[in-house]
Structure 1
Amino acid sequence: MKKLLAWAILLLGITYFILPLVGMTEFSLSMRRGVYSLDAYRAVLADPRFHQTFGYSVIMALLTIVFGVLLVVPTAFWVQLKMPHLRPVVEFVTLLPLVIPAIVIVFGYIRLYNTSSWLPLTGTTFGTNLLLMLGYATLSLPYMYRAVDTGLRTIDVATLTEAAQSLGAGWTTILARVILPNVLVAVLSGAFVTFAIVMGEFTMAALLNRPAFGPYLQLMGANKAYEPFALAVIAFVITWACMGLIQLVTRFSKHTKAAR
């Protein structure tokens, strides 16, 4: 009876999540009256704004991932190796983006770095892009930090560091050639989550007036009927592709370790 009830709850949950997706996909294929077609997808993919915004968000996602790795990996490594007593403080700080709304963060950026401030970043395209990247890095910090911290806990950081130092390696070499390869799966997991966050983020990009994919999706939703659903399907596929890549990388890593 318990097993039957568990299966019933699982099927109910699957139905709850799957039916809206099926309806969304079905509507996106109904642009041509009476038959299913890919007209909405063709219209979206032929729109120059789609290519511009999608390419912009991909570039920003990659820059955010690089910045996040350079920030989080050394921090998590140093906390675990030298300052374990500060772990609760660091964990609290990295959780703040989950409780502070993105709109508050971006308004703080605008207030601090507008054209009349001491550092007028919003006055240039480069400065605004930099602020947006920092904002994305802030939003992804809870996920990136926890992924890296979990990866570091699975290895003996102190022993690896002492062994590398005994061979004459410096801190940069230790991080790049010893620690990073051992937590690469964790880093990739955080990177894929970061990519998904950046591709779907709307608030920061809209308020900073940057040509990102999120504001484009909202603009299409306000002016078109079928194309927004096609865009939503594309965004959903991108997100789930990132989740699938996390699973593939994790399984590949497990098989590699088992073979060794």
Structure 2
Amino acid sequence: MRARVWSWAALAVGIIYFALPLIGTVEFSLRKRRGEYSFDAYRWVFEDPRFRETFSYSVVMALFTIAVGILIVVPTAYWVRMRYPRLRPLVEFITLLPLVIPPIVIVFGYIRLFNTSSVLPLTGTATGTNVLLMMGYATLSLPYMYRAVDTGLRAIDVRTLTEAAQSLGAGWGTILGRVILPNVLVAVLSGAFLTFAIVIGEFVMAALLNRPAFGPYLQLIGANRAYEPAALAVIAFAITWFCMGLIQLATHLSPHSRARRS
């Protein structure tokens, strides 16, 4: 009984810790009109064409980054667990490097390596710079995506599923796409959500590469206005939670999830 009380108390403290700043931000964002609450700050944000341009750009970049992350991480985590378990400490160390190396160091390295005077001048065109930025986002999200997928692989019997699929004549592409991926779909979606949140709020790489992303726009508005940054923060928070809800709904309605519940 005492353990249950302490558990509920810890949960209540956590909710208060996260809810109070959000409530304060919402309340402040409604005070643009003197003496009364209004949605003027939100109206200004939605009418600003830069908001639509930067947010849509970051959403597209997030989707491409998630796709690239899945294509890189799922086969890598699968092969490490299936064929090369001794390499797991090395792979985990490599995936932790983006947490140790500051983003500003990574992006300066990219600019130095892929500038217009290099063999592969990605910064010479807008498309190439977008590809470079996406690679940077994939690097920043690598620790979270890899650990999410690795946790999902630990929860299933990878070797038995692989041998069963091979006995039915399935190739490696079929095994990864139709056997392994559906079984770790929840873990992949968790990593995708974290990647989406990282891309939406990232500032350093997008600013130094001069791309019209949402992070630099949020910083620009915060430096020049008072109430609109709070409204932007609330909007970004709501959209992020909406996307998380869609991920959970997709997971709940997936055929593999229904089969497991039945």
TM-score (norm 1): 0.92
Residue-by-residue CA offset, 1:41-73 (whole Å, 9 max, x unaligned): 111011110110010000000000000000001
The residue that corresponds to 2:55 in the other structure is: 54
Tell me whether 1:219 sits opposite 2:248 in the alignment.
Answer: no
Partner SS, residue 116 of structure 1: coil
Residue-by-residue CA offset, 1:228-249 (whole Å, 9 max, x unaligned): 1100111222333445556666
Asked if 2 retains the 8 angstrom alpha-carbon contact of 1:40 and 1:230, the reply is: yes
The residue that corresponds to 1:83 in the other structure is: 84
C-alpha distance in structure 2 between counterparts of 1:158 and 1:5, whole Å? 41
Per mean C-alpha deviation after superposition, the further-off stretch among 227-236 and 203-212 is 227-236
Asked if 1 retains the 8 angstrom alpha-carbon contact of 2:185 and 2:251, the reply is: no
Which residue, out of 248, 255, 258, partners 1:256? Answer: 258
Q: How does 1:165-244 map to 2 (within 5 A)?
A: 165-244=166-245
The residue that corresponds to 2:124 in the other structure is: 123
Paired AA for residue 259 in structure 1: R
Paired AA for residue 106 in structure 2: I
Asked if 1 retains the 8 angstrom alpha-carbon contact of 2:200 and 2:215, the reply is: yes
Partner SS, residue 36 of structure 1: coil
Per mean C-alpha deviation after superposition, the further-off stretch among 65-74 and 110-119 is 110-119
C-alpha distance in structure 1 between counterparts of 2:36 and 2:197, whole Å? 32
Residue-by-residue CA offset, 1:164-193 (whole Å, 9 max, x unaligned): 112221111111111111111111111111
- 1:16 Cα deviation from its structure 2 partner: 3.4
The residue that corresponds to 1:105 in the other structure is: 106
The residue that corresponds to 2:143 in the other structure is: 142
C-alpha distance in structure 2 between counterparts of 1:252 and 1:177, whole Å? 17
C-alpha distance in structure 1 between counterparts of 2:242 and 2:103, whole Å? 25
Q: State how many pairs are aligned.
A: 260
Structure 2 regions of 5+ residues with no counterpart?
none
Change (3 A) 1:258 1:78: closer
C-alpha distance in structure 1 between counterparts of 2:161 and 2:134, whole Å? 33
The residue that corresponds to 2:42 in the other structure is: 41
Structure 1 regions of 5+ residues with no counterpart?
none
Paired AA for residue 99 in structure 1: V
- 1:155 Cα deviation from its structure 2 partner: 1.2
C-alpha distance in structure 1 between counterparts of 2:81 and 2:9, whole Å? 44
Residue-by-residue CA offset, 1:207-233 (whole Å, 9 max, x unaligned): 000000000000111111211110011
C-alpha distance in structure 2 between counterparts of 1:4 and 1:162, whole Å? 47
C-alpha distance in structure 1 between counterparts of 2:174 and 2:260, whole Å? 27
Asked if 2 retains the 8 angstrom alpha-carbon contact of 1:196 and 1:242, the reply is: no
C-alpha distance in structure 2 between counterparts of 1:8 and 1:162, whole Å? 47
Change (3 A) 1:99 1:173: same
Tell me whether 1:63 sits opposite 2:68 in the alignment.
Answer: no
C-alpha distance in structure 2 between counterparts of 1:174 and 1:16, whole Å? 44
Paired AA for residue 123 in structure 2: T
TM-score (norm 2): 0.91
Partner SS, residue 197 of structure 1: helix
Asked if 2 retains the 8 angstrom alpha-carbon contact of 1:193 and 1:242, the reply is: no
C-alpha distance in structure 1 between counterparts of 2:29 and 2:38, whole Å? 9
